Structure 1
Amino acid sequence: MSTDHIAYSDTNYFTPLILDYLSEKESLEHLYHRFPKIENFRAQIDEKSQSYNNFVRKDLVEVLKEQYADLKVSEATSGNIDLLSSDKTFTVVTGHQLNLFTGPLYFLYKIVSTINLTRKLKEEHPENDFVPVYWMATEDHDFEEINFFNLHGKKFKWNNAEKRAGATAVGKLSTEGLEEVFKLFSSEIGGGTNAEELKEMFQKAYLEHNNLTDATRYLANRLFGKEGLVIVAAGDSRLKKHFSIHIKNELLNESSSNASQAAIDSLQEQDYKVQVNPRDINLFYLNDEIRERIVKKDAQYFVHETEISWSKEEILAEVDAHPERFSPNVMMRPLYQEVLLPNLCYIGGGGELAYWLQLKNYFEAETVVFPMLLLRNSALLQTAKQDAKRRKLDISLKELFLKQHELINRKVRKISNINIDFSEQKEHLIQQFQQMYELAEKTDKSFIGAVKAQEVKQLKGLDNLENRLLQAQKRKLKDEVERIAALQNDLFPNRSLQERQTNFSEYYDEYGQGLIERLLKELDPLDANFKIITFGKE
């Protein structure tokens, strides 16, 4: 069993913003606080120690113990919850939606990255303790993003009446209707020890818990509890009350959109895509029936598409009485997380880091320490047989990540007994036309357009001829082309990264708990490379 890696820039799947962040491009330095190098954590610990409100710890531990009351809690997790009472304890956090049966593979990679970083920090700073935290996105409401998972190329989808627009947060959704998904999953996964464990996992998570929050907590605890993972659902009023001052500031001053605008302008000036465009007020109103955004018109506050409204005094009183009813959206949720937790570092995917990079000024305006931002580990899982096929086809790891038509064209050219590359002929043609441009310049400039048209026509003719010859050679090498395509399709389902498509159960069925053990061994959160992890023997 081997592990290889390539640079993120060689995968062709990561945005310029994330690649520039990883290379610590100077023009981005004002958008983050400290880069996540092991030597930078001492300063982050000291700064968080001085600024964090340690009175929050009591409520945090109390709520966590209640949330875990009906679960079988490992000694490691129980110990970590207790450790959160100490002002010497800090967290590393990842967050994720409540995807059905964890969703794509990268759910595992996020949590493994988080666990492994806390272990590295403990080795480096033994005088402190570090707790890995999974922040459940219980207050999201996009049901269509989370109601399915992919197994063996098939989509297993949960159809639920509560998915209607304007429904409440997904964490409150009843698990009713998942019996049918369980039956289909059980039939697909088949038999065997690991398959039976997966079926039991699904059944206990979704058929023996009443809502999606409790089901997801059970599942994440089942997979990572023995590693000490602590799972937070942060909607409790005892926790939200610590965020009340920031909720009020948002309502009164539209603080998140105003403070983040400079960062948004900076990203746009550098031609980066802006991940999130803030609203004037980045809060939702949440109860058992709805989660709808709050808007302000003149001096009144309204819940969008409802009859609920308040004056300024009334809405501030509502915050005091029911802080749990005010749900931060993507712009404010990071701030809530950092107010609530003694956190040092947030671990997320490229899209998450992109919107965090919009927020540093907002954190400063709210006098909350901005965490380090670390790109989660990414990996491609393959069997030894697949790796052997790749090597037999003479495909390098870097080539494996090319778009399929690029990969096939490159390999066809390489294995052909004729050279189907007209680059030299095209260059020669361009040089010939350069002479014609010079001649037209000296005689009659009106002919320059005609020369240009003829150059374009002839270059296009060479392109067409090259492509026709290439297609003809592909037909001659049909068997080779099909094997190349089949291998890449196996490793890149739907022409996408495996980690964004395939559910963990496909690999757990084969390797059981050994899958997670291998990930814990191989995924180094501070190694900024894309991993290729090989399982089994040829």
Structure 2
Amino acid sequence: MKSDCIPFKKTGYFSNLICDYLDEKETLKPFFNRFSSLDNFKDQLLEKQANFPIENRTVLNGAMKRQYANIDISRSTELHIELLKDKSTFTVVTGHQLNLFTGPLYFLYKIISTINLTQQLKEVYPNYNFVPVYWMATEDHDFDEINYFNFKGKKLQWNKIASGAVGHLNTDGLDDIYDMFSLEIGMGQNAEELKALFKKAYLEHSNLTDATRYLANELFGEYGLVIVDGDDRELKKLLVPYAKMDILENSGYKAVSETSQKLEQLPENYGIQVNPREINYFYLKDGVRERIIEENGLFYINDTDLRFTEEEVLKELENYPERFSPNVISRPLYQEIILPNLCYIGGGGELAYWLELKSSFEEMGITFPILLLRNSALVITQKQGKKLTKLNLDIEDLFLKQNSFINKKIRNISNIDIDFSPQRRNLQEQFQELYALAEQTDKSFLGAVKAQEVKQLKGLDNLEKRLLKAQKRKLKDHVVRMTEIQNELFPNKSLQERNLNFSELYLEYGKELIPVLMKELKPLSGEFNILTMD
């Protein structure tokens, strides 16, 4: 294994907002609590410890025991669930949708980052316990985002009419995906293990929540991962007073809107990731997850005939808290209410909207967590590594847009100089003499000199482009091989981790895949990983 890394900023795939956050830019400091350095966790855990009720730990422990009642768990996970009752125990959390068969590869990176950080924290703060948590987005209702995964360039999609929270969906129809996957995956021990994993997860569990819990537990249970389903009546009882503030006082809307405006007004022009609503909760019942909208003192459930008076909606909230589902603004708050959490680990888009939320946490009296960008990686197989060596390609250049990548490499390997910069300088020097002459005569001649300079410089630009184009034709075979390997490593001209499913790497490396990634990915490194496998 050869491990290397480059700064996130140099990849070209991360926003200015995230790059500036990683640089701890001064203008962003009002939007987060503490930066993600090991030293800062000491103050974070002391603040959270003082601000997290012991009774919430009891509720959390009971909920986890219920949620794990029908699943075989490792001793490490069982111990972590018990430790949640202890005031010296804290969590590190990542969250993700219930993507079919984990969806994109970065699902693994999120959870590995989370587990590795808890282990690192335990080494530095041995008197405390740290539990890695995967929060399943069971209440999300965007089925089209989670109903497929990519395998060897093909999209294996679950075609189903669906509505409401995806976690409630039954797994009918996934036997068709299993059959397609089995046909595509081929033979061998690793292939058989993948087929068995898919079958046990999706064909032997009746709903998507249970299937995803089983799958994540099989992949990471031995590391003590605790999987949390927030779609839980007892856990949501803890949310009730905060939901009241949002529904009746629009507290989340006011706080987040104010923060968003401040973020938007910064000279860096970051833009806004999400916009709050007056009420940041959905109503969840019988296959429906729709917005709650207040008009003239009545509370309507969007696209239904349901409506409540203020008294009725409060009674519904008290009696059936499970029917109130947080949206993207209120879900982070819910997470921090029920978990003794220190840090949230997410992708760039997630951290961008978390940076809008600090004021709403302050409004509700909840400690705002440390935010950490998850690990990212480009995994290069042994075969791909040999191709890169043969073509003499710099890995950093692979992150360039394809046209820039080709142009740069053609210039490097050509036996003639395609850079006309010396000719431009020479031409400009000659025109300086003409300008001096023009100063001594009519001004109209000065304009003619300027026009001729522009014309000739443009002509040089065109000649340079034509020469580059000619060299591309001459080196066509090299260009084809270059673009093929770049397309392999950056499918759909995007990061590998956003397209590839873990199964493709598992086919090659089997049960060694996750341990290798666990060893190589360092959550606090602050750089993009490049892993060349042996």
Is 1:279 the counterpart of 2:277? The answer is yes
> Per the alignment, do residues 444 and 325 of structure 1 end up closer, same or farther by CA in structure 2, a change over 3 Å counting?
farther
| Distance in 2 (alpha carbons) for counterparts of 1:508 and 1:293 | 40
Q: 1:249 aligns with which of 245, 270, 273?
A: 245
| Distance in 2 (alpha carbons) for counterparts of 1:412 and 1:533 | 26
Other structure's SS at 2:239 match: helix
How far has the Cα of 1:423 moved from its partner? 2.7
How far has the Cα of 1:412 moved from its partner? 0.6
Which amino acid in the other structure matches residue 173 of structure 1? L
TM-score normalised to the size of structure 2? Answer: 0.96
Is 1:70 the counterpart of 2:53? The answer is no
| Distance in 2 (alpha carbons) for counterparts of 1:447 and 1:180 | 78
| Distance in 2 (alpha carbons) for counterparts of 1:319 and 1:110 | 33
Deviation readout 1:418-461 (Å, 9 max, x if unpaired)? 11112333345556667777877887767887766655544433
> Per the alignment, do residues 168 and 440 of structure 1 end up closer, same or farther by CA in structure 2, a change over 3 Å counting?
farther
| Distance in 1 (alpha carbons) for counterparts of 2:89 and 2:443 | 77
Aligned to 2:120: 120
Aligned to 2:262: 266
Which shifted more, 32-41 or 269-278?
A: 269-278
Which amino acid in the other structure matches residue 261 of structure 1? S
Is 1:183 the counterpart of 2:179? The answer is yes
How far has the Cα of 1:206 moved from its partner? 0.7
CA RMSD between the two structures: 1.8
| Distance in 2 (alpha carbons) for counterparts of 1:193 and 1:361 | 52
Gaps of 5+ in 2: none
| Distance in 2 (alpha carbons) for counterparts of 1:399 and 1:140 | 38
Gaps of 5+ in 1: none
Which amino acid in the other structure matches residue 207 of structure 2? N
Q: 1:6–1:397: 8 Å Cα contact kept in structure 2?
A: no
| Distance in 1 (alpha carbons) for counterparts of 2:171 and 2:280 | 29
Aligned to 1:319: 317
TM-score normalised to the size of structure 1? Answer: 0.95
Q: 2:257–2:275: 8 Å Cα contact kept in structure 1?
A: no
Q: 1:259–1:365: 8 Å Cα contact kept in structure 2?
A: yes
Aligned to 2:221: 225
Is 1:147 the counterpart of 2:147? The answer is yes
Other structure's SS at 2:375 match: coil
Which shifted more, 342-351 or 386-395?
A: 386-395
Is 1:409 the counterpart of 2:407? The answer is yes
Aligned residues: 532
Instruction: Kindly report which structure 2 residues correspond to 1:270-419, keeping only aligned pairs within 5 A, or say none.
Output: 270=266, 271-419=269-417
Aligned to 2:14: 14
Which amino acid in the other structure matches residue 479 of structure 1? D
Q: 2:170–2:207: 8 Å Cα contact kept in structure 1?
A: yes
> Per the alignment, do residues 319 and 457 of structure 1 end up closer, same or farther by CA in structure 2, a change over 3 Å counting?
farther
Q: 1:151–1:502: 8 Å Cα contact kept in structure 2?
A: yes
> Per the alignment, do residues 438 and 171 of structure 1 end up closer, same or farther by CA in structure 2, a change over 3 Å counting?
farther
Deviation readout 1:335-379 (Å, 9 max, x if unpaired)? 000001000000000000000001111111111000000000011
Other structure's SS at 2:34 match: coil
How far has the Cα of 1:68 moved from its partner? 1.1
Q: 2:95–2:136: 8 Å Cα contact kept in structure 1?
A: yes
How far has the Cα of 1:306 moved from its partner? 1.2
Which shifted more, 398-407 or 193-202?
A: 398-407
Other structure's SS at 2:507 match: helix
| Distance in 2 (alpha carbons) for counterparts of 1:12 and 1:429 | 35
Q: 1:95–1:137: 8 Å Cα contact kept in structure 2?
A: yes
| Distance in 2 (alpha carbons) for counterparts of 1:443 and 1:253 | 76
Deviation readout 1:306-344 (Å, 9 max, x if unpaired)? 111111121111111111111111111110000010000
| Distance in 2 (alpha carbons) for counterparts of 1:303 and 1:170 | 19
> Per the alignment, do residues 53 and 476 of structure 1 end up closer, same or farther by CA in structure 2, a change over 3 Å counting?
same
Aligned to 2:195: 199
How far has the Cα of 1:262 moved from its partner? 3.1
Deviation readout 1:222-263 (Å, 9 max, x if unpaired)? 100011000000111110110111111111121112102232
> Per the alignment, do residues 229 and 457 of structure 1 end up closer, same or farther by CA in structure 2, a change over 3 Å counting?
same
Which amino acid in the other structure matches residue 492 of structure 1? F
Other structure's SS at 2:54 match: coil
| Distance in 2 (alpha carbons) for counterparts of 1:27 and 1:328 | 30
| Distance in 1 (alpha carbons) for counterparts of 2:440 and 2:278 | 62
| Distance in 1 (alpha carbons) for counterparts of 2:430 and 2:303 | 68
| Distance in 1 (alpha carbons) for counterparts of 2:250 and 2:99 | 31
Which amino acid in the other structure matches residue 90 of structure 1? F
Identical residues among aligned pairs (%): 58
Which shifted more, 200-209 or 388-397?
A: 388-397
Is 1:169 the counterpart of 2:147? The answer is no
